[in-house]
Amino acid sequence: MEIHQDWQWLDPAARGASCAMGNFDGVHLGHRSVIDLARGTAPLGVITFEPHPRQYFAPAAPAFRLMNAEARANRLAKLGVAHLFQLQFGSVLAGLTPEDFAARVLAKGLGISHVVVGEDFRFGKGRAGTAQDLQRLGLAHGFRTTVAPLLRHGETDVSSTAIRNALSEGRPRDAAAMLGHWHRIEGEVIHGEKRGRELGFPTANMALDGLHLPRFGVYAVKVDLRTGPQAGTYMGAASLGVRPMFGGQAPNLETYLLDFQGDLYGHHLSVALVDYLRPEMKFDGLEALIVQMQADCDRARDVLLAA
C-alpha cells in the first residue's frame, strides 16, 4: 500500500482511484462495508485525514481515538487498499467550502474516479456538505459518488462512538463484534518502573497517549510481537490503568506475556483486548498482589484457550 499525504502534488500513477472516504477510526465493520463498495476495476483507495478533524478543532478535548495513524494504515493495508490518501488536516482543508473541496481536492488534486461515503458523512467548512451534496458535486466534476447505508449491530448503529462506549464499559467482546476484529493497542515497549519484574511478572509497558481509554482493569489479551527474533503471537494478561497500588496517575498498559522469556524493550507490540477480567484494586500488601496476579494469569489462559 502506498501512503500519500499531499493532494496538490500527487504522483500521476496514483490518480484515477476508486476511494472510500472518512475518518475510519477503528476500521470497523461499517467502514469495511464502505470500503467494499469502492472495490472495482480501478485501484482501491481510502481518503482520510490526519490529525482527525475533531483533534484539530478541539485539541484540549479528552483523547478519543481508537487507533493511531500507524495502526489504521496497518489495518487498511490488510484489507487490500492500494492507495491511502492521508490528507494533512489543517487551516487549508478546514477552510474549504464543500464545492471547493470536491473541485480542488477530489477532482483536480486526487483525480478520483469514484468515491464512497457513509450516509452520515459531512464535509467542507462548518461541516456544511452532506453525502447528497457530494453526489451532486461529483456529477459536476467528473466522479461518481455512492452513499453507503449505516450498518447495524442488533439495535445499535455500528459506529466508532458505540465501540468507544463498549470499551468504556469493559465490554471488549461487544466492541470486537462491531469492529470485526479485536480492539488493539499498538506501539513500542517503553521503560517503566520495573515493579513487575521485581514481583516475578515482568511486563511490557506501552503509552496510551491520544487514545480512548477502555475501562481500567485487568484483561485477557492476545499479543502480536511484531519485531525481533521471537516475533509471533502470545497469550497474556494486561493491566490497563493508573496502578493504584503504587499511587500512579498517568494511565498506561502493562502486559505480561505468558510462556515468554526475553527482552521486549524497543520492540513493537499489538495487544488485543479479548476479555475484561476484573477492575483495578488496591491490596493489603505485595504478597496479596502476587497471589492475585497469578490468579489473573491463570484465568487469562483459560479464557484465551477457549476464545
Which residues are part of the catalytic machinery?
254
Under a CB-based contact definition with an 8 Å cutoff, are residues 255 and 263 in contact?
no
The span from the CA of 241 to the CA of 270, in Å, is 17
Cell numbers that stand for 114 in this block: 469514484
- The vertex-281 CA angle with 277 and 284, nearest 5°, equals 130
- Residue 97's alpha-carbon distances to 93, 100, 126, 139, 252, in angstroms, are 9, 5, 8, 17, 40
Under a CB-based contact definition with an 8 Å cutoff, are residues 220 and 213 in contact?
no
The span from the CA of 116 to the CA of 144, in Å, is 8
The span from the CA of 58 to the CA of 60, in Å, is 6
Cβ neighbours for 284, distance < 8 A, ≥ 6 positions apart? none
Q: Tell me the backbone φ, ψ of residue 286, rounded to 5 degrees.
A: -65, -35
Q: Tell me the backbone φ, ψ of residue 215, rounded to 5 degrees.
A: -55, 135
The span from the CA of 169 to the CA of 148, in Å, is 29
